[in-house]
Structure 1
Amino acid sequence: MKKWKCVIADDEPLARELISDYTDKVPFLELKGVFKDAWEVREFLKSNKVDLLFLDIEMPGLDGLTFIKSYPTRPKVIFITAYRKYAVDAFEVKAIDYLLKPISFERFLKAVSDLDNEAEIKHTKDHIFITHERQQVKVMLSDIKYIEARGDYLKFYLESQKPILTKMTLKTLIEELPESFIQIHRSFVINQDKIMAYQKEKVKVGEDWLTISRSFKKDLNLGD
C-alpha cells in the first residue's frame, strides 16, 4: 500500500488537531508536518517532498488559494474551510475535494478514499506494470502507441489488445517513461517509434491522427 505523505496548514488550533487525528486513523496517510499558515508550508516544501496538502483557505498573511496558485509544482490539495464561497476557485486549481467545517470523519474519509485507489506505475527498461481493474497489468513499452489523458484517468492505446484505462496523472506517468515517449499535447503522450506519418500540426500514430500543440512541438523531432 502506498503511503501518501501529507501536511496540514490551518490557523485554527482545533482544526489542526482534528485533521491530525483523522490522518492518524487512515493507514495510507503519513502526516509529515502541521503548520499554522501557508508561509510555513512553503518553507517546508523547499526541502521536503509531500503528496498531499490539507489546506485552509482563509489564513493570515497568505491565503490557501493564493499560495496554491503561486506554487508551480504543487502536491495534490484538499481544501478545508468554513466558507462555501470559495468552492469554484478551489476546483479551478484542481483540488481533490473541498471540505466544509465542521468536518466529520466520514466526510474526511470519503475525500481521501480515491487516493488509495490511484494507480502506481512500476517499470523496468522494457515494460511497465499499471493498475487496471484492481490488478497489476504488465504492458510492454514497445506495445504502447500513445496515451490519452482523460481527467484523472489515462487511456493506454496498445497494438496487441484493447485500450487500458487506469487512474493516474499524465505528469506522474511522463516522469517514469523513457525518452522515446514525448508529450505532443496536454492530452497526449506518444511513442515516437509508432509514428506512421506527420503534417505540420498533427501526427499519425498507428491509425489515429493526433494534434500537436504549439507549446510541445519543439520537443518532437520530426526531421524538419
Structure 2
Amino acid sequence: MNKIAIVDDDVIMCEKLKTLLKNHQYGVDVYYEGETFLPHGNEYELVILDIEIPDHNGIKIKNYLTKPFIIFISAYRDKILDAFGKNVVAYLDKHDELFDVRLLNFVSQYTEFPSLTIGDTVILLSHIIYLEGQGSYTCVHTHNGDFLFRKTLRDFQLLLNDHFMRIHKSYIVNLEEMTQLKVKQVVVGHVTLPVSQRYRETLKQAYLRYAYE
C-alpha cells in the first residue's frame, strides 16, 4: 500500500493529482468514494481529501481518521472553518494558481519525515525538542506544545531514531535541537537539562559526529 491516498469524486482532478505526485516519485492510491476509502483510511501517512464527497462528507471522514495527516482540497473557500481539526495540516483551494506548488510543499513536509503515532496523536520527530520521563508517563516537548503519554521513557527510546539520545534517567534529547553542550548540562531550545555522568562521553561523541555530518 502507498503512503498517500487521494479521496475525491472528481475523476479528472484525481488523475491530475495522481500524475503530479507520481511524477515526483510518490506512491498514490485513489478513491472516488468515501465508503471505499474508510476501511483503509488509517493505513496511510497522508490523505488528500475533497471536502465535498456525495456519499460521505469530507468533514465526517476526517473525524474517522486518527493516524494520517490530512490536506483538505475544495473549490469552496467558505468551507475552510469546518475543515480545521486534529491532524489537518492544510486547506487548499483547487482554483489557486499555485495549487500544485503548495500541494507538493505540504506533501514533502508530511511524508518525508519520520513520525511517532501514539494512540490518536501523530508527532513529527523533527518537531520534538526533548522528552521528559515522569515515572510511568512521558512528556514530549515539541515546537507545537507538550504532549503527555502513558509510556515510559524507555518505551519511547525504542521508537526513536539515531537523532535522539538518552542523557539522563529522565531525559532524551533531539540532537538537532542542541545549541550548547557543557560538561554536566546541555541546552536544547531554551531549556538547560542535566547530563548524567554515564552519558557524558557518549553524548559528546554523538554530538560531534552529528555536527560534522
- TM-score of the pair, normalised by structure 2: 0.54
1-structure distance, mates of 2:95, 2:156: 49
1-structure distance, mates of 2:45, 2:152: 17
Deviations 1:128-159 (A, max 9, x none): xx658xxxxxx9x9x967644446477xxxxx
More helix by share: 2
Q: Tell me which residue corresponds to 1:67.
A: 61
- Root-mean-square deviation (CA, aligned residues, Å) is 4.2
Give the 5 Å matches for 1:1-224: 5-27=3-25, 29-31=26-28, 33-45=29-41, 49-69=43-63, 71=64, 73-102=66-95, 104-115=99-110, 118-120=113-115, 147-150=139-142, 152=144, 178-179=154-155, 194=170
Residue identity matched to 1:6: I
Residue identity matched to 1:37: E
Unaligned runs of 5+ in 1: 122-129, 133-138, 155-169, 182-192, 195-205, 208-224
Q: Is the 8 A contact 1:4 1:52 kept in 2?
A: no
- TM-score of the pair, normalised by structure 1: 0.52
1:81 shift after superposition: 0.6
1:88 shift after superposition: 1.8
1-structure distance, mates of 2:19, 2:83: 24
1-structure distance, mates of 2:2, 2:141: 23
Deviations 1:182-222 (A, max 9, x none): xxxxxxxxxxx64xxxxxxxxxxx99xxxxxxxxxxxxxxx
76 and 131 in structure 1: CA distance in 2 versus 1, 3 angstrom threshold: closer
Residue identity matched to 1:118: F
Unaligned runs of 5+ in 2: 117-124, 158-168, 171-192, 195-213
1-structure distance, mates of 2:100, 2:70: 18
1:23 shift after superposition: 1.3
1:177 shift after superposition: 5.6
1:54 shift after superposition: 0.7
Deviations 1:21-55 (A, max 9, x none): 1211233x321x2111211111334xx72111111
41 and 151 in structure 1: CA distance in 2 versus 1, 3 angstrom threshold: farther
Partner of 2:70, secondary structure, is: strand
1-structure distance, mates of 2:143, 2:87: 10
111 and 175 in structure 1: CA distance in 2 versus 1, 3 angstrom threshold: farther
Residue identity matched to 2:61: F
Partner of 1:14, secondary structure, is: helix
